[in-house]
Amino acid sequence: MALTDTAAALLRTLRERHGPLMFHQSGGCCDGSAPMCYPAGEFRTGGSDVRLGRLAVAGVPETVDFWMSGEQFARWRHTHLTVDVVPGRGSGFSLEAPEGVRFLIRSRLFTDEERARLDG
């Protein structure tokens, strides 16, 4: 997993306002499969959710956990994911919504080298 500079800057702002953060991406119909940003611990993950990573953000003292539903992960397990930000209306539940932007995931297939590291 990775973050764009724009996403990192927004996470720093949100961290100042809301404290420690987390992401969850459900893959459901209502949120458009967008990553949702919450105060850490506000969204209760379930037994089938998978923590994909702990994102290190410069200027944020703790990592930002990124969770995904197990069903979504099964479809995306062979992809490298990058958290980005674009203008637009986000979900009303995600912390960035009032900013006029929304988080999104950019994905690409793992390279052979990346896949070998994960398998090894």
pTM of the model: 0.89
Topology of domain 2-119, per CATH? Hypothetical Protein Aq_1857; Chain: A; (2.60.300)
Contacts 24+ apart (CB under 8 A), 46-49: 49/24
> Quick one: average pLDDT of 46-65?
97
**Domain ranges within the chain, ordered by starting residue:** 2-119
Q: pLDDT tens digits, residue range 104-114? A: 999 999 989 98
- The pLDDT of residue 92 is 75
Ordered alpha helix ranges (H), 1-120? 5-18, 70-76, 112-119
Q: Model confidence at 117, in pLDDT bands (50, 70, 90)?
A: confident
Q: pLDDT tens digits, residue range 89-98? A: 877 789 999 9
